[in-house]
A and B are shown apart, each in its own frame.
Chain A
Amino acid sequence: MGTLVRLLRTPKGAVGLILVASFIILGLLAPVISPTNPQKQNISLRNRPPLFHAADGRVYLLGTDELGRDLLTRTLFGVRLSLLIGFCAVACSGTIGVFLGVLSGFQGGVIDFVVMRAVDAQLSIPLILLAMMWIAFTKPSLPNVLAVIILAGWVQYARPIRAMTLTLRSSGFVEAAHAIGVPRWRIYLRHILPNVLPLAVVISTLQLAGAILMEGSLSFLGVGLQPPAAALGLMVNSGRRYIDTAWWICTFPGLALMLIVLGVYFMGDALRDTLDPKLRRLG
């Protein structure tokens, strides 16, 4: 709770927190507050501009897309989807990455070598290429998109967490715990884990933004979620064909994506400064 209050005191933290919180609320409430169904088409109302008043008295705040679907509704559901994918991906890749990072740093030896070479190998392929390959060789679907983002994400935790574990391993309190015969698993849980968590939280904010952008790019390239899903990247891509007649179709979903990521970055910056001033250099 104290961290939250301190976050709100910095301008960046306050703006970030408000942005992220509002998008989370919008995403959660999307089925309740949306004017209509995200898949409901109305061919007679295609490509209508923002603030369009229909004959039946309904107002389309952000206009309609190329199939006459309400853009506001689709953007809200897109936000929901982006956040869902982002949080799931971070939770999974964070768990895997922290586990392997701590294991690698603490055990050393063969485990360390294998994990670190896997990290090297993975970091030497651009993430987007890895993702495209994975999806081309499997099938574009939500689980596959999630899987590839998780696969790409764990390395970002493993390396810094391993480095920190190495430092912790040789610190006085861990050696003391060893000396009085505390079992290994207990040293992991009680002495190492709490000390690497702030670092993991800071990496997580960067990763959350990265995962959301990655899903957007994949969907945009056609190897992520498939139509008619209300994914923001997909909406930008389908709006691309109408940029000369209907600018709003790709503008609003992209804007929503940008604001979410901006909020997450702001929050991450503030969080980093609040949790541990020593971590400032990471960014």
Chain B
Amino acid sequence: MNTDIRHYPGARLITWVFFAWLYLPIAVVIWFSFNENRLVSVWTGFSTQWYDAALSNRALLDALRVSLIVAVIATVVATVVALMAAMVLTRTPGLKFRRLSETVVNLPLLLPEIVVAVAVLILVSQLGVTNGMVKLVLAHSAFCTPFAFLPIRARLQGMSADFEEAAQDLYATPWTAFRRVTLPLIAPGVFAGAMLAFAMSMDDFITSNMLNSGGTTTLPVYIFSLIKQGTTPELNAISTLLIVASLIIATLALSLSARAMRRG
């Protein structure tokens, strides 16, 4: 028997089962995407035919294009807005309404997304916005902002204001100081924030579904409509492609922010 008091019998077992459970769905989807059988969960043989089908599916590629356009614009908007807000919130001593402003920036995190979706839907109906892209970009920019904001603010808080003062002391204008000193030093945080915002936008279903109109179906909304029609191996192939893409983005973002932490 293990006499180390830090050891809890069973805790390790729970942890291993937990990790198995965590990766089971991903493994199942990937596994069955190579199934030649039309039935999703009956394995009959290896095939990549569903990938061919997925990659030649026009509707899928259209949805992907919509998602990418919306995600790229929303990421840029959210990152710029978040960066500006974070600069003011961490670099202005004695700022009035600091708490309130921080709450406002993080507001999308405090509300259930369905409420955000309803609010935006009613707004665009009242304003008479009919362009589906505009609706999506507006909503995505808003709910991506806190995801970009949090890593950027963390990075700024971890960075001494001495560097910016030193730059200005050496005759750099505030803009030059920001461009040549602050921005390079917080770049990992900005990058991590942008990645997170991008992932959140690509992932969004609730808001995009509620704002969905012809021609602006995003990838998750399209996948949802496929699921409604029934599970198919093609769906597994699409999901696998998405899993691979998101794992690459995640690994990039996580390793960059880990490196940023180490550099301090």
Asked if A pairs with B, the answer is no
Which B residues are within 8 Å of any A CB, using their own CB? none
Which A residues are within 8 Å of any B CB, using their own CB? none
